[in-house]
Structure 1
Amino acid sequence: MSRRPPARRRPARRPRRPRQQQEHLVGLLLAAAAALWLMATVVHWLLAHWWILLAAAVIAVLGGIGWWQQRVQRAQWEHAQARALRYGLPQLDALSHRQFEYTVRDLMYRDGCTDAVQVGGQGDLGADVKATDPHGRRWVIQCKHRRHGEQGAAVGTPELQVLNGTGRPVHKADVVVMVTNGRITQPGRDFARQQRLHLVDRQLLASWAAGSRPLWELLPALPPPRKPSRLS
């Protein structure tokens, strides 16, 4: 019986990885060279056509001036519109609770609190409106809207206790205010006086919303300004 000839071993293939790395490196070098050539070409062209750069700069400056003028004019128009903001009690009574919060925010903005913001909602911790007046004092306001106005449920001590518990400790307010288009009970007024809370009831709200004086000129015993102001 004849033996089979031994199988011939195939020569091992040399790894192609070094060659692939070299090709990748060459590709990167070519790409970098092309990018440098393109940049040099663009710079050379721009230097040869410098007037295009000058024209683009002039157009950019004019565009920026126009944008700034429009922004200033819009701010002036919004300020003038806010200064003319007035509300009567029938208008306030017809609002929803959320609309009432936004109205109080707008009145604070009218008075000069440019950062006035409505924050009321679930988890607001007793704050419906926050603002900083021109004197630097931080205001935290809770709003209680009564659909039937003075005939609705009066704001009492429990609501004021919630506001007192969060106004200064949580929200770091200098001025803590309860605003309502309804009534406030006498025990609630006594509690507010003891805790240095400020109350805006229906009568004071009518004067504030329909007039032009800021709220800090209508409330007594406010804390001193935090910073010098032209209004102080």
Structure 2
Amino acid sequence: MVLALALAWKTVWPYIVGLVLVGLLGGIAWWLRRTHLRTVAEHRAWQTEEENAARERSMAEVDAMTWQRFERYVAELCRRDGCTQVVVSGKSGDLGADVVGRMPDGRRLVIQCKHYAPHRTVPSGDMQKFLGTAKAEHAADVAVFVATCGFTRDAERLAVKHEIVAMHRNLLGAWVRGSTLESLIPLNGAGDGRRSPRSPRDGRSATTRPAADRRPQSRPGPPGPGHNSPR
């Protein structure tokens, strides 16, 4: 009996040792992978935290600006991202066009700036005034409402519905930190950022309706008193 067991052991022991080694190696590989994933997750969390902290440090500088300086700073960001013909209005009665220019691909850019305290929100009334003038008065291809705070839900809904880019504080922080304007356009409202068919004569969007259906339309009148909200 003992002899039989000894002979059997001589036959099977390599397989047993092999199974033990496979199990041991598998356990080590699982532990290494788990450790790697945990390290990657911790690094990403740390990186995100650092980026947020850096963004807030930058936004603290923006918060300290006057509204006039903020408008000029937004214009500087546009130029940094390749926009051309950038002009700052810097005056009341600008009908919502605080900064105007051209996107790198030639589209007309119109920006409304609001330098509010971070805890405030931009109401839907401000958004209504801007959407009433951005395209009708200023022929904007890309209309952007930049604020140092957030927007109310109704204001954001209006922006998305009417293709206005609602650049709230977090998106502005990303812009300040180096993200390009063009990369931020699709993130919160379409901004009418798609290139429209152009007329060879005046550069405006060409209509696709038959000539018989092109009836003259009345032009919206200028907004009423109180258009220029406190900045």
TM-score normalised by length of structure 2: 0.57
Q: Which residue in the other structure is 1:101 paired with?
A: 71
Indicate which of 138, 141, 148 corresponds to 2:111: 141
Call closer, same or farther: CA 1:105–1:226 in 2, change over 3 Å. Answer: farther
Q: Which residue in the other structure is 1:217 paired with?
A: 183
How far apart, in 2, do the equivalents of 1:226 and 1:92 lie? Answer: 37
- CA distances 1:150-187 after superposition (whole Å, capped 9, x unpaired): x1x21011001111111001101101110011110001
Q: Cα offset for 1:224?
A: 1.7
Q: Over aligned residues, Cα RMSD in angstroms?
A: 1.6
User: What SS class does the counterpart of residue 84 from structure 2 fall into?
Assistant: coil
1:48-197 equivalent positions in 2, closer than 5 A = 88-146=58-116, 148-149=117-118, 151=119, 153-197=120-164
How far apart, in 2, do the equivalents of 1:132 and 1:119 lie? Answer: 15
Question: How many aligned residue pairs are there?
Answer: 137
User: What SS class does the counterpart of residue 88 from structure 1 fall into?
Assistant: helix
Query: Equivalent pairs: percent with the same residue?
Result: 37
CA contact (8 A) 1:137 1:226 kept: no
How far apart, in 2, do the equivalents of 1:94 and 1:176 lie? Answer: 25
How far apart, in 1, do the equivalents of 2:83 and 2:196 lie? Answer: 14
- CA distances 1:4-33 after superposition (whole Å, capped 9, x unpaired): xxxxxxxxxxxxxxxxxxxxxxxxxxxxxx
Structure 1 unaligned blocks of 5 or more:
1-86, 228-232
Q: Cα offset for 1:117?
A: 1.0
Q: Cα offset for 1:114?
A: 2.6
TM-score normalised by length of structure 1: 0.56
Q: Cα offset for 1:131?
A: 1.1
User: What SS class does the counterpart of residue 121 from structure 2 fall into?
Assistant: coil
Using the TM superposition, name which of 112-121 and 131-140 deviates more. 112-121
CA contact (8 A) 1:164 1:195 kept: yes
User: What SS class does the counterpart of residue 151 from structure 2 fall into?
Assistant: coil
CA contact (8 A) 1:116 1:130 kept: yes
